[in-house]
Amino acid sequence: MKILMLAPEPFFEPRGTPISVYFRILALGELGHSVHLVTYPLGQDVRLKNLKIIRPPNLFFIRTVKIGPSLIKVPLDFLLLLRASFELTATRYDVIFSHEEAGFFGTVLAKIWGKPHIYDMHSSLPQQLENFKFTQSAFLISLFRKMEDFVLRNSRAVIVICQDLLEKVAKPGYGRKAVLIENFLDFPSQEFSAEEISRKKRELAPNGEKIVLYAGNFEPYQGIPLLLEAARNVREKALFLLVGGSGTALGEMKEMAAKLGLTERAVFVERVPPSRVPFYVALADVLVSPRLTGTNTPLKIYSFLKSGKPLVATNLWTHTQVLNPTNAILAEPDARALAEGISFALNSEEARSRARAAAEWARKEFTLPRYLERIAQVLDKAKS
């Protein structure tokens, strides 16, 4: 099949939805399909099998797009829509495959050109407006709900990335269209040796401190302030390594750590390529996910489970769709409870036993063949 894919994202950037888009394209290429990706005039080009990247000109000279909803996406989405329309007039496609808010105009284009439409529902758009505090307008939120229903009703197939979204799609009666495809694939790791790990550990923790790792962006929903408050309550000799911050958010978290007296106990590393994250995971004794809001399962959870390292996460639906007391340490979302969970993970053989069992389960469950099978189901629905 020749697929026109619409991704209203900077592609490629190492963050949530672009990572998911990357693996969708990888899987489609592995299955023998070709993808023409219309995306923003921002991000790094990548080479994937049967992929052609198409970018509209950057007429508005926009340089960055923050995570979540923003007004700056409106002109970029307009350019994307124009470029996608041109593609449909110039080339014959078998299916239109849209991500996030591009689902709305992807559905309209599919109707005009008589093509089946696949909607990749990375999140609920009206829920995003509320979670990111973009607006409190009941009218705007209601409008986005109607748009989302329009897309779900008129798509042949809908990809959902977690159980919460599967339930949201099923509730209004669209469950038969949905295929659950969790974001569990990993980028190939940069090579590193045991000596590199030992050398870095000596550099970071010269007195033999254990290392607690957070890896991900520093957006408010991730709960970094909660993690720093918890770090202050952890009595064990532990170093908190926070990887993935950038810009203003990174500066704010460094300032908070200093105010909490964590200058010697908290080390910050700016955002790194996904292929470098396994190096930091290998350094860690304990992994943490302190997320506070949202209902999507964090991408990091799947690679953390495969690592065999004890994982501490907040006891919220965003995590418990995948995590439970047999494969992780779940802590209530307050500083003292999270600190107790981290201490348990640092000291307990039970925590290490859970981590080993979780790794064995995850490595069998979250495989490329399973991912390809789910993508093939989506295409079958689109063709039916």
Task: Give the C-alpha distances (Å, rounded to integers) separating 224 from 25, 87, 253, 335.
Answer: 32, 42, 7, 11
In this predicted structure, what is the pLDDT of residue 148?
A: 96
Q: Give the Cα separation of 169 and 149 in Å (integer).
A: 9
Q: What is the DSSP letter of 155?
A: -
In this predicted structure, what is the pLDDT of residue 197?
A: 96
Q: Are 240 and 262 in contact (CB under 8 A)?
A: yes
How confident is the prediction along the chain (384 residues), in pLDDT tens digits per residue? 999 999 999 999 988 899 999 999 999 999 999 999 999 999 999 999 999 999 999 999 999 998 888 899 999 999 999 999 999 999 999 999 999 999 999 999 999 999 999 999 999 988 888 777 788 888 898 999 999 999 999 999 999 999 999 999 999 999 999 999 999 999 999 999 999 999 999 999 999 999 999 999 999 999 999 999 999 999 999 999 999 999 999 999 999 999 999 999 999 999 999 999 999 999 999 999 999 998 999 999 999 999 999 999 999 999 999 999 999 999 999 999 999 999 999 999 999 999 999 999 999 999 999 999 999 999 999 998
In this predicted structure, what is the pLDDT of residue 134?
A: 84
Q: Give the Cα separation of 312 and 307 in Å (integer).
A: 13
In this predicted structure, what is the pLDDT of residue 268?
A: 98
Q: Give the Cα separation of 95 and 1 in Å (integer).
A: 8
Q: Which domains does the chain have, with CATH numbers?
A: 2-185+367-383 (3.40.50.2000), 194-365 (3.40.50.2000)
Angle at 24 between CA 22 and CA 28, to 5 degrees: 120
In this predicted structure, what is the pLDDT of residue 383?
A: 92
Q: Are 119 and 98 in contact (CB under 8 A)?
A: yes
Q: Are 293 and 270 in contact (CB under 8 A)?
A: no
Task: Give the C-alpha distances (Å, rounded to integers) separating 8 from 135, 149, 291.
Answer: 20, 19, 25
Angle at 128 between CA 69 and CA 273, to 5 degrees: 65
Residue 164 corresponds to which amino acid?
Answer: D
Q: Specify the 3-state DSSP secondary structure of 273.
A: coil
Residue 179: phi and psi, rounded to 5, are -130, 125
